[in-house]
Amino acid sequence: MHQQCIDELTPPEMQPGETVDEGEFFRNLNREHVAKCYSGDADEEPEYGYRLGRRQWRYWGRQSPGLSVSLRTCIHSELCSLVLHPLGTDCYHVARIDLGAINRSGLLSSAFVARYDPAAPNLCHFVIQPLDGVVTKWMELGVALNAPFPLAKKLPTTDEDKARARRAYERYRSFVKIRRWVRRQDGSLPST
């Protein structure tokens, strides 16, 4: 699987350090990185879906200056995103982040970019970083993406609130789509 993923990579025609402000990227997630949009929702198949936990957006100040991701059109599958991750065995889910949609949302005061940072064998590796700030911009992104779920502790009860919650989830999915259990719960990987 590992070699097959490497063989099928289609690296972008970019130099290391070059940036883009759009494109879809895979982000590998461990069990704690995914939260239900409404904590009171069903554990399996929650009606209002999943979102990234806020801690996902608090990655600055560690070894990486931003969010480590892989370009979808280069690595092709969520499975290969896990397989080529150096700590991929800790990851079970994968988020597909649409950087262009986030930047076009009008909810951010400035853009985020993805910097090409090939890390063999993953030649599809990028780091998402804010262009015009550090702490404030990551906080802004976290707040902006969480905005559709203002009272996330309580499940919506009225028809109006339920409709709002569904619209909010659809909106969220235009930025981030989460595929759960790309790696099985017992740690194994599916063969295809």
Least separation in angstroms between residue 161's CB and another protein is 11
What is the C-alpha separation between 148 and 142, in angstroms, rounded? Answer: 11
Choices 38-46, 77-85, 146-154, 181-189 (CB under 8 A): range interacting with another protein: 146-154
Task: Please give the C-alpha separations between residue 125 and each of 36, 75, 78, 176, in angstroms, as whole numbers.
Answer: 28, 9, 13, 18
Residue 14 near another protein by CB under 8 A:
no
Site for another protein in 150-179 (CB under 8 A): 150-151, 153, 164, 167-168
At 24, phi and psi to the nearest 5? -105, 140
Choices 36-44, 59-67, 91-99, 122-130 (CB under 8 A): range interacting with another protein: 59-67
Closest CA to 77 of 26, 33, 127, 10: 26
Q: What strand order describes the sheet that includes 19-20?
A: 19-20, 112-116, 125-130, 67-71, 24-29, 93-98, 176-179
Of 64, 143, 174, 181, the residue at the interface with another protein (CB under 8 A) is: 143
Least separation in angstroms between residue 115's CB and another protein is 12
Residue 52 and residue 33 in contact, taking contact as beta carbons nearer than 8 Å: yes
Of 1, 6, 20, 144, the residue at the interface with another protein (CB under 8 A) is: 144
Size of the site for another protein (CB under 8 A): 30
Per-residue binding string, another protein, 74-103, x by CB under 8 A, is ------------------------------
What residues does 29 pair with on adjacent strands? 93
Q: Integer distance in angstroms from the first to the last C-alpha of the chain?
A: 9
- Please give the residue ranges that form the binding site for another protein (CB under 8 A): 17, 54-55, 58-62, 104-109, 135-136, 139-140, 142-144, 146-148, 150-151, 153, 164, 167-168
